[in-house]
Amino acid sequence: MGRPKGRTAKPHQGKRRRSMLKIYGVGASPFVRKVRVALIEKNVPYEMKTVFPGDNSPEYRAISPLGKIPALADGDFTIPDSSVICAYIEKTHPEPPLYPSEPKQLARALWFEEYGDTALAEVLTLGVFFQRVARPLLRGEQPDMNVVNEAVNERAPVLFDYLQSQLGDAEFLVGNSLTIADIAVCTQFVNFAHGGYTVDSSRWPKLAAYVERILGRESFKQLIEEEKATLPPPA
């Protein structure tokens, strides 16, 4: 039996065109980058609206009550928080999937996302990038190198040991393809690099190769280039 004629012709006629997704934030934020990489990997067009961290305007607080970046607008619908936004995008744009469907793998992917957003963010982004790049740039202050050295020499090694042990010989942290785990973890390494550091490949060879591989993907690469053009060298 054939399809009824004309059923598929001009399927969108009469329907309102979907407006482009809008991401509020600035490129150097690891959480903004996390969302942008997910969108690029899914080939979803989006536009950026510049909002700096801690924006106190009533307009932005109405979208992001904690004043944090990123936030998303999809037409009239708005929502803050990178993890929430990425989960939303997965539902609205399922291909390619960035969340495993198998429950245990999904749980591990969400765990690494949490680990990236908290433990890695505190050390690689707050401990290094904030001190050496954001603080001089936004506040005109010198970095506290005690904080940086403690982050690099004492706090990061514990995190790198753990990540390398979890990675083993695998290409990705969970399963056989890129997931939110890789995006959330590796976005923090971009800020570490903007802050002047990379993973020591003689001490953590597998982790260093993994980070280099993920950051070499087209999605990360194009954002890193864009950010480098706007950021000063680390102080």
Ligand X SMILES: N[C@@H](CCC(=O)N[C@@H](CS)C(=O)NCC(=O)O)C(=O)O
Query: Contact residues for ligand X (CB under 6 A)?
Result: 29-31, 53-54, 67-70, 81-83, 117
Of the pair 56, 202, the CB lying nearest ligand X is at 56
SS3 81: coil
Place of tokens 């505190």: 122
Structure tokens of 93?
Answer: 């744009």
| Residue among 69 and 174 whose Cβ is closer to ligand X | 69
Backbone angles phi, psi at 12, to 5 degrees: -95, 0
In the bound complex, what is the minimum distance in angstroms from residue 86's beta carbon to ligand X?
9
The interaxial angle of helices 82-92 and 30-41, nearest 10 deg, is 10
Closest approach of ligand X to the CB of residue 1, in Å: 50
Q: Which of 43, 27, 17, 60 is nearest to 98 (CA)?
A: 43
CB 17, min distance to ligand X, A: 28
Judged by CB, which is closer to ligand X: 14, or 58? 58
What are the beta bridge partners of residue 73? 22, 78
Q: Smallest distance, Å, CB 14 to ligand X?
A: 37
Strands 21-25, 46-50: pairing is: parallel
- Whose Cβ is closer to ligand X: residue 48's or residue 209's? 48
